[in-house]
A = this chain, B = another copy of it.
Amino acid sequence: MHDFLMVLDLVGTFVFAISGATLGVRKQLDLFGVLVLSFAAAVSGGIARDLLIGATPPVALAQWHYLGVSCAAGLVTFYRCDDVERLRNPVQVFDAIGLALFAVTGATKALAAGLGPMGAILLGMLTGIGGGMARDILVARVPVVLQSDLYAVAALAGAAVVVAGHWLQLPGPPVLLAGALLCFGLRFMAIRYGWQLPVAQHRRD
């Protein structure tokens, strides 16, 4: 079980890193910039969570796997960016897997650090969406997660399942699985059917 989670975690890291690297290539960053965006997109959510629960140094700096996997994803994207762009659809699916995994593991880690239900749900969501936000802020654009699609809400739902299961003292693994499946399912349906949140009706003067 633990090895399986580890593999999924590294797959999620790889796919998030690809999203960062792809944006870096489009923005004409140099090789170093592309690698920074890969790493930032992959680990910023987890680093923010670790800082907020006081777990220093963050796992992503203490273990080399995250940097290694992020740089591998960045290098592949840098040198084969057109191939990577052609794979957009499978990448979106893996991204949804990464989101689901990061949200449930983030919430679990926050609960273990003693946070209340609300804090744990927020940190689970932040673990999932923080990387994409950091990626976008680094290239000075409004984070896409604030603008469109059912993305953060899927992470929120997955994290909420984990917290509810903890509250009800249900056994851990099935709760994690249920949370991850709900998050992945919502995100997948949102991609498939274009589900979106409402945008405010604002009369421009």
Chain A residues near B (Cβ < 8 Å): 24-34, 36-37, 47, 51-54, 56-58, 61-62, 64, 67, 78-79, 81-82, 113-116, 118-119, 122-123, 133, 137-143, 145-148, 152-153, 196-203
Contacts and interface: CB of A to CB of B under 8 A. Distances in A.
A61 B79 CA distance: 42
Copies in the complex: 3
Contacts of A139: 142, 146
A138 B143 contact: yes
Given A32-B153, A67-B122, A137-B137, A142 B27 contact: yes
A3 to B, nearest CB: 22
B140 A138 contact: no
B202 A28 contact: yes
Contact of A122 (B61, B115, B119, B197): B61
- Which 8 A-B residue pairings sit nearest by Cβ, starting from the closest? A33-B146, A54-B56, A30-B197, A61-B119, A25-B200, A64-B118, A31-B197, A29-B146
